[in-house]
Amino acid sequence: MPVLPMTRELLAIDGGTPVRKTLLPYGRQSIGEDDIQAVTDVLRSDWLTTGPKVAEFEEALAAWVGAKHAVSFSSGTAALHGAAFAAGLKPGDEAITTPMTFAATANCVLYQAAAPIFADVSADTLNLDPEQVAKRITPRTRAVLAVDYAGHPADLDAMKELSASHGLVVIEDACHALGAEHKGRRAGSIADMTVFSFHPVKHLATGEGGMVTTDRADYAETLRRFRNHGISTDARQRQSQSEAQWHYEMVLLGFNYRLTDIACALGLSQLKKLEKNLLRRREIAARYEVALCDLKAITLPTVRPGVNPAWHLYPIRLNLERLSADRGKIFRALRAENIGVNVHYIPVHLHPYYRDRFGNRAGEYPIAEAAYARLISLPMFHAMSDGDVEDVARALQKVIHHFAR
């Protein structure tokens, strides 16, 4: 791995030579010929949607995570909406979640005309702090949406204790955490409902897509109806009956959130590679730690005992008191070196929609806000080569050394 340079180099942003000739993105999909063949086979079949690949993918994913049921959706956001619906959220209800997430986590509560209530995060993992959650519980609280930030599972034991004490539904937003383990159990087998995303930058890609896993048959039935216009059966079920059946009934107000057979075939093909993809991400995280552990101007991600993260992201925090530049300048300098860093996330309560509608203000969630001011996500995807990892480390060392106090 590269060694911290002893002299300052001219940064690319100032006219120097970039570490890389081409941009290394922060994340991207990996598609092989086997994936393409799986999709092609479906395109030649009788079913492009609501067909056999949907159930096959759901059953395979449920078995992989250790859950009794899995229900596919057209996106991770749709899956979150389905989970909020199945949890029974309605006008006047509240659900507690984290500000350190993508907006979809909180938005799904609003889709049910309920109120998202934010609680601050723990300083080490940037996951929901159970003590802060406990302070936000009211008689209107119905659910907790805990996010596995960057792929590190939330404190699910504490969330389940709160759930048992207050009669709450625990929804785990594991869109970062397919394959993560919490005390020997995989994400997807612990919470009341767990939501996954299959966006291209995730561990398993279907283009767009999502899944909810659960051990409760009643939740699974509600989720299936909700994603299919609220109709009690789907087209394949009606066609597969011994006698042709045209009759169907809408039993609740749902949406068209179905995942196609095309996407499910891709998901099944990708699922076969998931163990290898997870192993590679963990190797990359280990390489980053070795290469960067001596940089005093950054803080590397924390891993708690009993946790094996899935490493969707590799977020570092800048120790700005040791630097002569702010996060924005460091970010731009790394991009100029052709390292596609990103920032995850702008705290949800600071988005204009949430500020204007709910009167949220800066300073309400100090740990999340302080982290946001220092966060930079390094590239992390399983197709990265060792050379890519070395380029990232080399560029970060170059930039940090240049701005070191």
Instruction: Give the active site residues.
Output: 202
Angle between helices 104-111 and 76-86 (to 10 degrees): 40
The per-residue b/e assignment along 233-270, b for 16 or more CB within 10 angstroms, e otherwise, is ebeeeeeeeeeeeeeeeeeeebbebbbbbbbbbbbbbb
Q: Which residues lie below 8 Å from residue 244, measured CB to CB, with a gap of 6+?
A: none
Of the candidates 238, 275, 235, 230, which has an alpha carbon nearest to the alpha carbon of residue 256? Answer: 230
Distance from C-alpha of 366 to C-alpha of 357, rounded to nearest angstrom: 20
Strand-by-strand arrangement of the 185-186 sheet: 185-186, 181-182, 307-308
Per-residue DSSP letter, 105: H
User: Are 151 and 143 a contacting pair, CB within 8 Å?
Assistant: no
Q: Give DSSP secondary structure letters for 253-293.
A: ---B-PPPHHHHHHHHHHHTTHHHHHHHHHHHHHHHHHHHT
Q: How many other β-carbons are positioned within 10 Å of the β-carbon of residue 42?
A: 22
Residue 204, classed as helix, strand or coil, is coil
Report how far residue 187's alpha carbon sits from residue 175's, in angstroms, rounded to the nearest whole number.
10
3-state class of 147 per DSSP? strand
Q: Which long-range contacts (CB under 8 A, 24 or more apart) does 360-365 make?
A: 360/118, 364/118, 365/99, 365/118, 365/119, 365/120, 365/121
Q: Kindly give the interhelix angle for 386-403 and 274-292, rounded to the nearest 10 degrees.
A: 30
Token reading at 65: 């995570």
